[in-house]
Amino acid sequence: MTIADTEREMSKSLRSIVLIELLLPLLLLVFGAYHGVLQVLYRAGVIRSTSFAGIDYYQGLTAHGVINAIVLTTLFAVALGNVIVSQELGTGLSVFGAGLSLALMVIGAVAAAAMIFAGKATVLYTFYPPLKAHPVFYLGLAIFIVGSWIAFYAWVPAYRRWRRTHPQQKTPIGVVGMFSAFIIWQICTIPVAVEVLVLLLPWSMGWTAGVDVVLSRTLFWFFGHALVYFWLLPTYVLYYTMLPKLAGGKLFSDFAARFTFLSFIVLSIPIGLHHQFADPGIAASWKGLQMTLTLLVAVPSMMTAFTLAASLEIGARQAGGHGLFAWWAKLPYFQTDRWMFSFLFCGLAIFLFGGVTGLINAAYSMNNLIHNTAWLPAHFHLTVGGPVFLAILGMSLFLVSGLLGKPIVFPRLALSVPYIWTIGTFIFSGGLFVGGLRGEPRRTNLGLTYLNPASPSYRPDWWITTHIGALGGCIMGVALLLYFVVLVRTITAHPARAYRGASALIPVSTAYHDEDVPALRNFSPWIVAAVLLITLAYYPPIHDILKNNFKLAPGYSPDSPAAIGKTP
């Protein structure tokens, strides 16, 4: 390690904080993943019951969504941000800020998880009213989000210090990516905080008689689709900084990386209505506007596809690759010393299909065909469950190994995990896509009814697709099992002498084309543009909803068609 590297290393306390941020959600993931496998078994009719091992179907589905999609992703984003900001700016982070953020996130996550496992928050990860949860669940989520804000606030002074001492230098790409993710997060969590604190919490405490469902759903999706880019951007940070280096090449264009991150600040929030195309109470014109913006938000991802393919090509040609397509064969797919490459590359390959199906969802007319069907979980297991999840798994292993100074045990096994996951995901999603087109609903315990020959609703034509889904889901479960074997064996291994010099420093690629575009040097114009576009896209529909003054709904639980406290 060089002196410069030592300066970029994190302090001992920060290293411990990051370790907890990585390992705690991985521990919870054991439950989250277990309930994922149970889902496919319920859906295929292998389990024909309302519950399994004492946990109800919808309770398990809520645990699966909240742990995997909210707790794991957010804690990982905070951990990666702590690592990247301290490494790239080298100015040291406030340990107090990072520690406070971690404490709040842990308290919030434990409170929300406790309510889910106690059966008092069976509201799925979207916590849509009129499904009603215990107030502690909503409070837990609010505390968790405030904790993630504080992590970001602790990075800002470090950035300001760095800016003062490096006035001419471009902000490192990793920092641009992490700041963009957290600027999006800061803006989009405001509407969901209003939903939770003003609508859901008072309702759940019994202070209000009912809840405005249309307003709540709109505030949720104001946050909900930006959330997916908050999941995606840390993965893009690894794609733009680490992947070209692992491929033995360079980042093709510095401009493309910066433009991608900054344009997400503008485009990722004013598009949530594409989740509400089927909802009443919102004019088609506003849905049409947000559909157009949704198609626009795919542009930075398409740029990413071309930039990364070009970056991989540089690496492959360095390794002797040639021809128009033959160079693909020269990438380090199966090199154990570059096992992290396979986690990132498999994610990219999966995302091709996740992205294209997102464009289908975004088309107002085609959305009618797939909305609320099994197609949707197929789409999101190729996005958040593909590139994002693989980047989280791979990078957590990379960082835990580096922070503990212990080499990866069973590197070949580690290398196999993303490939097995990819095979499982494609089979799983293939079954769900076709099932969705045949009308299979999402979020439904099919085994009790549609997959039960004794039920009048029996649909034998759904047998094959649900069983393909179950096969894929079980393969994904096997991949995770192998991952945990590698992780646990690595953590429990004796520290190796040879690895003493190891660190959690992330390899960062240099740029092949290092363009300097002044408009990409400052976050402010992008934030201003975002606020203007959000106002244009959201003020009119929210104004309409408030004016319509919809009838308030009482609370429900997913296992009964009658409101809570009423007999069906």
Binds ligand HAS (CB under 6 A): choice among 294, 422, 466, 509:
294
Binds ligand HAS (CB under 6 A): choice among 75, 83, 228, 314:
228
Helices H / strands E in the chain, number of each: 19, 4
Residue 367's SS3 state is helix
Is residue 437 near ligand HAS by the rule CB under 6 A?
no
How many whole angstroms separate alpha carbon 397 and alpha carbon 420?
Answer: 17
Candidates 18-26, 81-89, 104-112, 303-311: pick the segment binding ligand HAS (CB under 6 A). Answer: 303-311
Closest residue by beta carbon to ligand HAS? 355
DSSP summary character for residue 387: I
How many whole angstroms separate alpha carbon 414 and alpha carbon 421?
Answer: 11
| Structure-token pair, residue 529 | 């543009």
- Is residue 443 among the annotated active site residues? yes
| Structure-token pair, residue 17 | 């904080």
Binds ligand HAS (CB under 6 A): choice among 171, 383, 422, 425:
383
- Is residue 543 among the annotated active site residues? no
Binds ligand HAS (CB under 6 A): choice among 352, 517, 536, 564:
352
* Distance in Å, CB of 294 to ligand HAS, minimum: 5
How many whole angstroms separate alpha carbon 251 and alpha carbon 245?
Answer: 8
Q: At what angle do helices 463-492 and 411-437 cross, to 10 degrees?
A: 160
Is residue 192 near ligand HAS by the rule CB under 6 A?
no
Q: Which is nearer to ligand HAS, 8 or 217 (CB)?
A: 217
Binds ligand HAS (CB under 6 A): choice among 194, 305, 464, 529:
305
Cα torsion 105, 88, 336, 499: sign:
negative
- Is residue 381 among the annotated active site residues? yes
How many whole angstroms separate alpha carbon 299 and alpha carbon 206?
Answer: 45
Is residue 355 near ligand HAS by the rule CB under 6 A?
yes
* Distance in Å, CB of 521 to ligand HAS, minimum: 25
* Catalytically annotated residue among 379, 428, 467, 556: 379
- Is residue 380 among the annotated active site residues? yes
- Cβ neighbours around 303 below 10 Å, total: 17
- Is residue 166 among the annotated active site residues? no
| Structure-token pair, residue 178 | 């992490």
Binds ligand HAS (CB under 6 A): choice among 380, 433, 526, 556:
380
Is residue 309 near ligand HAS by the rule CB under 6 A?
yes
How many whole angstroms separate alpha carbon 302 and alpha carbon 543?
Answer: 34
Candidates 102-110, 295-303, 393-401, 502-510: pick the segment binding ligand HAS (CB under 6 A). Answer: 295-303
Q: How many residues bind to ligand HAS according to rule CB under 6 A?
A: 32
Specify burial of residue 128 (Cβ count, 10 A radius: 0-12, 13-18, 19+): middle
Binds ligand HAS (CB under 6 A): choice among 84, 201, 348, 378:
348
Is residue 60 near ligand HAS by the rule CB under 6 A?
no
Candidates 48-56, 292-300, 416-424, 500-508: pick the segment binding ligand HAS (CB under 6 A). Answer: 292-300
Binds ligand HAS (CB under 6 A): choice among 267, 376, 415, 480:
376
Binds ligand HAS (CB under 6 A): choice among 232, 265, 393, 400:
232
What separation in angstroms does the CA of 413 have from each of 72, 336, 409, 483, 489?
Answer: 23, 9, 9, 8, 11
For the residues of 307-341, what is the DSSP string, one character each?
Answer: HHHHHHHHHHHHTT--TTTGGGGGS-TT-GGGHHH
Residue with tokens 């930075």: 300
| Structure-token pair, residue 304 | 């990413």
* Distance in Å, CB of 349 to ligand HAS, minimum: 4
Is residue 351 near ligand HAS by the rule CB under 6 A?
yes
What separation in angstroms does the CA of 509 have from each of 91, 312, 392?
Answer: 21, 12, 20
What separation in angstroms does the CA of 392 have from each of 68, 200, 521, 562?
Answer: 11, 31, 28, 40
Is residue 304 near ligand HAS by the rule CB under 6 A?
yes
* Distance in Å, CB of 392 to ligand HAS, minimum: 11
Is residue 87 near ligand HAS by the rule CB under 6 A?
no
- Is residue 442 among the annotated active site residues? yes
Using CB under 6 A as the criterion, what x/- string covers residues 242-281 for binding ligand HAS? --------------------------------xx------
Question: Which backbone phi and psi does 55 adopt, to 5 degrees?
Answer: -115, 130
* Catalytically annotated residue among 381, 433, 467, 556: 381
* Distance in Å, CB of 346 to ligand HAS, minimum: 9
Residue 85's SS3 state is helix
Residue ranges in 242-363 assigned as alpha helix (H): 243-246, 254-267, 284-318, 339-362
- Is residue 96 among the annotated active site residues? no
Candidates 194-202, 376-384, 474-482, 520-528: pick the segment binding ligand HAS (CB under 6 A). Answer: 376-384
Candidates 82-90, 134-142, 379-387, 466-474: pick the segment binding ligand HAS (CB under 6 A). Answer: 379-387
Per-residue HEC secondary structure of 454-475 comes to CCCCCCHHHHHHHHHHHHHHHH
Is residue 509 near ligand HAS by the rule CB under 6 A?
no
Candidates 167-175, 186-194, 257-265, 350-358: pick the segment binding ligand HAS (CB under 6 A). Answer: 350-358
Is residue 366 near ligand HAS by the rule CB under 6 A?
no
How many whole angstroms separate alpha carbon 86 and alpha carbon 88?
Answer: 6
Is residue 290 near ligand HAS by the rule CB under 6 A?
no
How many whole angstroms separate alpha carbon 299 and alpha carbon 295?
Answer: 7
Binds ligand HAS (CB under 6 A): choice among 39, 216, 301, 429:
301
Residues carrying an active site annotation: 225, 229, 379-381, 442-443
Binding site for ligand HAS (CB under 6 A): 126, 228, 231-232, 274-275, 294, 297-298, 301-302, 304-305, 308-309, 348-349, 351-352, 355, 358-359, 361-362, 367, 371, 376, 379-380, 383-384, 388
